[in-house]
Amino acid sequence: MESTTLVLNNLVKTFGRQGEVLAVNNLNIEIRQGEFVTLLGPSGCGKTTTLRLIAGFEFPTSGQILLDGESLNDVPPNKRPMAMVFQNYALFPHMSVFDNVSYGLKVKRQAADLIRESVEIVMQLMNLVGMGDRMPHQLSGGQQQRVALARALVMQPKVLLFDEPLSNLDAKLRVQMRIEIRRLQQRLGITTVYVTHDQAEAMSLSDRIAIMRDGQLEQIGTPREIYQQPASIFVADFIGRANFIESCVQSCTDGQLTLELFGRMLTIPASQETFSTGEPVYLVIRPEAARVSRQAGNYTGEVKQAVYLGSTVEYEIETHDHFVSVVVYNPQQGDIFEEGDQVFLDLPSVAFHVLPRQTG
């Protein structure tokens, strides 16, 4: 059985004289050895506060932070076997790259030859060879990010923490750096907690994603689980795009749900959630799972909006007084429709996910 490295147990953090601001509300997460877990959510959801609690920059109001079974609640940040990579890199502008990377080891009063050896290893790992004498202002944004990561890794932490580290980079470099971070983390096997509001970052980097809302955990799971089996309307709406179609359960027998969709009966496999006959629900289908054509489909519709983006075309199709978003990839292989075109819409039954309507 895989051991758990980091545990957040009923974690609560309030701010204000009387605790009137509840930033983290009874949070429970277990992070296994070598796992990459991303805290994802909108601004103000408590993800950065949670990271600061783990790092020791804030202390819990109640609950426990456990590392290898031992409480960290009263341990100051410099005594925790962790390292953090900040959003603004937090490099010392008056120090060279070598001095920035070696700073933590010097504070620990390690021997000079050991410091040089450790720094050389990590700089080679981060493709910073030959840059030891440069100053931070002489580096590109990507190089500064590598220095910040090298400074964290040279401390050989048990847990590596990231606070939106790529938000200051341009889009192309951001993609490149997240590939490098993931490859490095897998190579070294360091337990990692990563905070971001970027869904693509979370999906591409993580073993598991923890979706947070108003200080609470909405859902934790693999990127595939989060996307294909969202636990709530909030998660389905926050991760990617989705169509939400109101329906009602007609029957639930033998692991099959029968529902009404635009006047027709639809039968799909029942999810783990229990539904009762007559219960109002949302049928959730992702835009890329829907199909649009001139020849055949379940429903007829009219193109109300068409946005050509090169690699994709995004449509808004009106059918039975509902608007359904459809995304077509590689449109060069098929028809490209114009606004006003009459089309057929195909909504495969296997692509639907059912959620209780009251969770919205």
Average pLDDT in the chain: 89
Tell me the average pLDDT across 17-24. 85
Same domain, 107 and 42: yes
Q: What is the pLDDT of residues 95-128, one digit of tens each?
A: 999 998 998 888 888 888 888 898 888 888 888 8
Q: What are the structure tokens assigned to 19, written together? A: 């605790």
Q: Which residue has the tokens 């990579």?
A: 85
Residues near 222 by beta carbon (within 8 Å), at least 6 away in sequence:
206, 207, 208, 209
Same domain, 189 and 71: yes
Total domains in the fold of the chain: 2
> For residues 328, 334, 340 and 341, what is the CA-based torsion angle, rounded to 10 degrees?
-130
- Give how far Cα 36 sits from Cα of 118, 220, 300, Å: 24, 12, 45
Task: Write down the H helix ranges in the chain.
Answer: 47-55, 97-107, 112-125, 141-153, 171-188, 199-205, 223-228, 233-238
What count of Cα atoms within 13 Å lies in the side-chain half-sphere of residue 23?
20
- The domain boundary residue, chosen from 208, 236, 264: 236
Same domain, 261 and 345: yes
**pLDDT value of residue 175:** 87
What count of Cα atoms within 13 Å lies in the side-chain half-sphere of residue 339?
6
pLDDT range class, residue 360, cuts 50, 70, 90 = very low
Range(s) of the domain holding residue 312: 242-359
pLDDT range class, residue 325, cuts 50, 70, 90 = very high
Tell me the average pLDDT across 308-312. 88
Tell me the average pLDDT across 310-316. 91
- The domain boundary residue, chosen from 201, 236, 271: 236
pTM for the whole structure: 0.87
- The domain boundary residue, chosen from 236, 263, 297: 236
Tell me the average pLDDT across 277-288. 91
Same domain, 173 and 140: yes
Q: What are the structure tokens assigned to 129, written together? A: 């060879």
**pLDDT value of residue 326:** 94
Residues near 89 by beta carbon (within 8 Å), at least 6 away in sequence:
136, 144, 145, 147, 148, 165, 168
Q: What is the pLDDT of residues 341-352, one digit of tens each?
A: 999 999 988 889
CA–CA gap between residue 105 and residue 149 (Å, rounded):
14
List residues bridging with 343 in a β-sheet. 301
Q: What are the structure tokens assigned to 35, written together? A: 């796992």
Contact status, residue 135 vs residue 96, Cβ threshold 8 Å: yes
Same domain, 116 and 214: yes
Phi and psi angles of residue 346, each rounded to the nearest 5 degrees, phi first: -110, 120
Same domain, 67 and 148: yes
pLDDT at 359 over 60: no
